[in-house]
Amino acid sequence: MIYLITGGAGFIGSNFLNHFVPKFPEHTFINIDNLTYAGNLKSLEKVENHQNYHFRQIDIANSEEIEQVFKEFQPDRVVHFAAESHVDRSITGPKKFIETNIIGTFNLLEMCRKYWSYFEDKLFHHVSTDEVFGTLGKDGFFTEKTPYSPNSPYSASKASSDHLVRAYYHTYDLPITITNCSNNYGPLQFPEKLIPLVIQNLLKGEIVPIYGKGENVRDWLYVIDHCEAIWTVIENGKRGETYNIGGNNERNNLEVVKSLCQVISNYTGEDVQKYLNLIIYVKDRPGHDYRYAIDPTKIQNELGWFPTETFDTGLHKTVKWYLENEQWLKSITKDEYQNWINKNYINR
């Protein structure tokens, strides 16, 4: 099989490629990524010399470039990770989110429609988020039947792309699957997201900003568990269906940050209080969703996927990885990153 992976230089895409390229030498993996601030070829050093791996720097919003790749490689399956993914950036600058997440997805779907004969074993797998469902109160869970109710420009753009993917199945019989996953964490995550930002700041002795009161709840999943769930859906998921992915790991943000202080203190031998003193409370995110929580019953019962990491084991692995990969972190936190930190946090 020839797999076209979009956004494979980002956090989840690079974990996916590092995990599956060596595992499946019989498949070819083509990574297309335009290397935005979030895309980094250093994350793929493990697989860059594998014979079944190829990279092309391509913008999915550019239909001519996508067509070239379809002509050159004739992919059987598309696994679509590429996106603008950070909620705060979608608040300060939504346009890119529309271009990549909506137009980019549309371009890929159009190319599949043009180049695929559907009786073959083709598949467009769309990687999406639980944020399309909006926010939960104190109770309840997102299921595959929860109505869409996105609240940020990011989640609205992902919801639009989900609807396009679904429409191509119903209108054109394009074989598709969609997964909606909760918050991921693990190695290779860009330090704009809560967990890597906090790890980095604690290690550097810099302040740790918590939005609002730190009471918002997220449902955390270790990234390799997410990648395995995606592979399970690609292999065995029913075409035309969506699957929610989550590991029943709800924590509020303050709990997450305190756990990180403790794990880092265990590694460094420093007093945990030294880290706790770095926590500050800053102005809340506009439209901040209160709580996300996934009901993973469908993927568990129908496809037999279960997570393997607990939040404890996953956090330990993640902290250890960041401690051992200081160079990776340094290489991606230069000019653009500092501009973002100033824009989002200074005078907040």
Binding site for ligand DAU (CB under 6 A): 85-87, 129-131, 182-183, 193-194, 197, 209-211, 216, 218, 253, 285, 292
If we measure between CA atoms, which residue out of 166, 198, 185, 192 comes closest to residue 262?
A: 198
Judged by beta carbon distances under 5 to 8 A according to partner kind, the member of ligand DAU, ligand NAD, none in contact with residue 250 is none
DSSP notation for 226-287:
HHHHHHHHHHHPPTT-EEEE--S-EEEHHHHHHHHHHHHHHHH---HHHHHTTEEEEPPPTT
Q: Which residue has the tokens 């824009």?
A: 343
100 contact, one of ligand DAU, ligand NAD, none, CB 5-8 Å limit per kind:
ligand NAD
Cα angle for residues 253, 141, 162 (degrees, 5° grid) = 95
HSE-CB of 225 using CA atoms within 13 angstroms = 28
Nearer to ligand NAD, 12 or 210 (CB): 12
Catalytic pick among 33, 88, 130, 250: 130
Please give the residue ranges that form the binding site for ligand NAD (CB under 6 A): 7, 9-13, 33-36, 38-39, 59-61, 81-85, 100, 104, 127-129, 158, 181, 183-184, 190
For residue 119, the minimal CB distance to ligand NAD (Å) is: 29
CA 249 to chain centre: 17
Which of ligand NAD, ligand DAU, none sits in contact with 89, Cβ below 5 to 8 A by type? Answer: none
How many residues are there in the chain? Answer: 348
Q: Are 175 and 238 in contact (CB under 8 A)?
A: no
10 binds, among ligand NAD, ligand DAU, none (CB under 5 to 8 A by kind): ligand NAD
Which residues lie below 8 Å from residue 89, measured CB to CB, with a gap of 6+? 96, 97, 154, 192, 340
> Is 130 an active-site residue?
yes
Beta carbon nearer to ligand NAD, 209 or 247: 247
State the nearest-atom distance from the C-beta of 129 to ligand DAU, in Å.
3
Active site residue 110: no
- Work out how close the CB of 234 gets to ligand DAU at its nearest, in angstroms, rounded to a whole number: 19
In the complex, the smallest distance separating the C-beta of residue 153 from ligand DAU, rounded to whole angstroms, is 12
Q: Are strands 279-282 and 221-222 parallel, antiparallel or unpaired?
A: unpaired
| Active centre residues (catalytic) | 130-131, 154
